[in-house]
Amino acid sequence: MERSLVILKPDAVQRGLVGTILTRLEQRGLKIVGLKLMQIDEQLARKHYAEHEGKGFFNDLVSYITSGPVVVLVIAGDNVIEMIRNTVGATNPAKAAPGTIRADYAVSIGRNLIHASDSPASGERETANFFQDAELLQNFNRTVDPWIFE
């Protein structure tokens, strides 16, 4: 069972795309086990994006992700990291495949709407940065699951 941290970035909130993006993840059958609206402060932004520290775009990235409210969620399930990354699309929306979230709703790499964890280890690390265990409802039953998982 993997966990992916997904962030609907400030541009998604400002552009009124939260519902649209959540719908696409939800309608795929992915199971949301945590969800909240928050504003990321600089310290958390630097921690979340620590792997990019020192890169040319790092300061702009921290400004972007802290520039307004975000919606943060955790999705749990087998193989969710790869599935969500595929649904999100390539980092640069100009190069993302049609039908992905970034291709369908974004045009700039620095305004690409959504973050999703890139490995199971990142999913765990990032989830712990944003949620207490008690905030995650990992064990609730969805009666629809037999119609989604063979």
Q: Enumerate binding residues for ligand IDP (CB under 6 A).
A: 52, 57, 61, 91, 109-110, 112, 115, 118
Find the residue with minimal CB distance to ligand IDP. Answer: 91
Residue with smaller CB distance to ligand IDP, 14 or 138: 14
Looking at the DSSP bridge assignments, the partners of residue 34 are 74
The CA distance from 142 to 139, in Å, is 9
CA distance 70 to 27: 21
Applying CB under 5 A, what is the total number of residues that bind Mg ion?
A: 1
Contact 67, 11 (CB under 8 A): no
Shortest separation between residue 115's beta carbon and Mg ion, angstroms? 7
Sign of CA dihedral 132, 5, 130, 9: negative
Catalytic choice (115, 117, 130, 131): 115
Is 115 annotated as catalytic?
yes
39: enclosing H helix or E strand: none
Our CB check for ligand IDP shows the closer of 4 and 131 to be 4
- C-alpha 63/C-alpha 22 separation (Å) is 24
Which CB, 21 or 139, lies closer to ligand IDP? 21
Write out the residues near Mg ion by the rule CB under 5 A.
118
Q: Which residues are catalytic?
A: 115
